[in-house]
Amino acid sequence: MVKVYTIASGKGGTGKTTLSVNLGTMLAQLGKETYLMDADIGMANVGLSLGLQDAPVTLHEILAGKCNINDAIYKGPAGLKVIPSGISLQGFQQADQDKMRDVMDEIIKRCEFLLIDAPAGISKDGVVPLAVADEVILVVNPELASIVDALKIKILTEVVGGHVLGSIINRVDQEDYEILTKKMERVLGVKVLGIIPEDANVRRASSAKVPIVIKFPTSPASKAIKRIASDLAGMAYKEEAVAGKRGGFIDRLSKALFKKKS
Ligand SMILES: Nc1ncnc2c1ncn2[C@@H]1O[C@H](COP(=O)(O)OP(=O)(O)OP(=O)(O)O)[C@@H](O)[C@H]1O
Ligand SMILES: [Mg+2]
């Protein structure tokens, strides 16, 4: 059975694209046929974050009726299939948002998992992914504005007949996870699916245009993302064996060679 997840937030910049790209990569790595679609057609950034910014055909051209959907599917990391949106303003103006649903229906026929990176806010292009998905996942930061906006998206999702699976709390810094989970579940009224810590490697991986789960697989954010992806795939999470407390020889060598001067 195909599962369609829309990754939404309300407030901008909470980590939707980071999570869509990394959860998608992990699901693909777990052997699931996974597609990632950038439904943020106004401010596309899935393509940018995977080095696909020069993709000649994007969701824009598909929505403009100029190209076939097959031409906009690109190979991503670990076998993830990526449908980026374009970054040009002209492309955005020509894209017919009413065709979005047909495009999603077409992709759903081909995969096991479809992840949709939704735009921030409550624009028309943002509402379709909320209604079309089997489950909406809210990405929320532990701050008031983000929580209030996530609540709006939850209500909007229910109004358009969609369903919210739960929330992911991203960019958490030194908080008691248990208390935070309880508070968030009480306020949003949905389960917390996972907590991702603030992790400087997220930005490093993103500048390298490589998902953090591949670039820094054992960093704290990667571990948290892997756990959520395993849950979504219905598979048990296995933490990769780290060779002893001191790390393996290669680890120690690279630490010695690249130790930061302070
Ligand atoms: N766990 C984290 N630790 C540190 N930085 C993070 C983390 N998650 C995301 N970021 C950083 O936060 C910024 C916003 O992330 P991202 O682009 O994924 O958010 P978004 O919700 O897709 O934003 P937009 O609403 O603009 O599409 C990026 O610079 C990203 O590197
Ligand atoms: Mg984004």
Residue 24 one-letter amino acid: G
**Ligand 1 mutation target, pool 7, 14, 16, 18, most atoms within 8 A of CB:** 18
Chain position carrying tokens 């409550």: 122
Pick 51 or 89 by higher pLDDT.
Answer: 51
Ligand 1, atom 23, residue with closest C-alpha: 13
Q: Which tokens in the block code for residue 79?
A: 């076998």
Task: Find the 250 Cα to ligand 2 centroid distance in Å.
Answer: 35
Chain position carrying tokens 């690249």: 258
pLDDT grade for 26, boundaries at 50, 70 and 90: very high
Sheet holding 191-197, edge to edge: 74-75, 81-83, 34-38, 113-117, 3-8, 135-140, 164-172, 191-197
Chain position carrying tokens 């694209």: 17
pLDDT tens per residue across span 136-162: 999 999 999 999 999 999 999 999 999
> Which candidate, 211, 213, 235, 234, places its Cα nearest to that of 224?
213
Task: Find the 18 Cα to ligand 2 centroid distance in Å.
Answer: 7
Measuring from each residue's beta carbon to the nearest atom of ligand 1, which residues come in under 6 Å? 9, 12-18, 40, 43, 45, 120, 170-171, 196, 198-199, 202-203, 206, 221
Closest atom, ligand 1, to C-alpha of 43: 27
Residue 244 has pLDDT above 50, yes or no: no
Task: Find the 119 Cα to ligand 1 centroid distance in Å.
Answer: 13
CATH class of 3-258: alpha beta
Task: Find the 174 Cα to ligand 1 centroid distance in Å.
Answer: 18
Residue 242 has pLDDT above 60, yes or no: no
Ligand 1, atom 8, residue with closest C-alpha: 15
Q: How confident is the model at residue 256, as a pLDDT?
A: 65
Alpha-carbon gap, residue 196 to 104, rounded angstroms: 28
Q: How many CB atoms within 10 Å of residue 43? A: 14
Residue 173 has pLDDT above 90, yes or no: yes
pTM: 0.90
Closest atom, ligand 1, to C-alpha of 199: 3
pLDDT tens per residue across span 98-120: 888 888 889 999 999 999 999 99
pLDDT tens per residue across span 84-101: 998 777 777 788 878 888
Report which secondary-structure segment, H or E, holds 74.
Answer: strand 74-75
Report which secondary-structure segment, H or E, holds 39.
Answer: none
Task: Find the 57 Cα to ligand 1 centroid distance in Å.
Answer: 25
Task: Find the 257 Cα to ligand 2 centroid distance in Å.
Answer: 35
Closest atom, ligand 1, to C-alpha of 171: 1
Ligand 1, atom 9, residue with closest C-alpha: 15
* Alpha helix segments (H runs only) across 30-97: 46-49, 59-63, 89-94
Q: How confident is the model at residue 187, as a pLDDT?
A: 96
Alpha-carbon gap, residue 255 to 221, rounded angstroms: 20
Closest atom, ligand 1, to C-alpha of 203: 31
Question: What percent of the chain is modeled with pLDDT above 70?
Answer: 91
pLDDT grade for 184, boundaries at 50, 70 and 90: very high
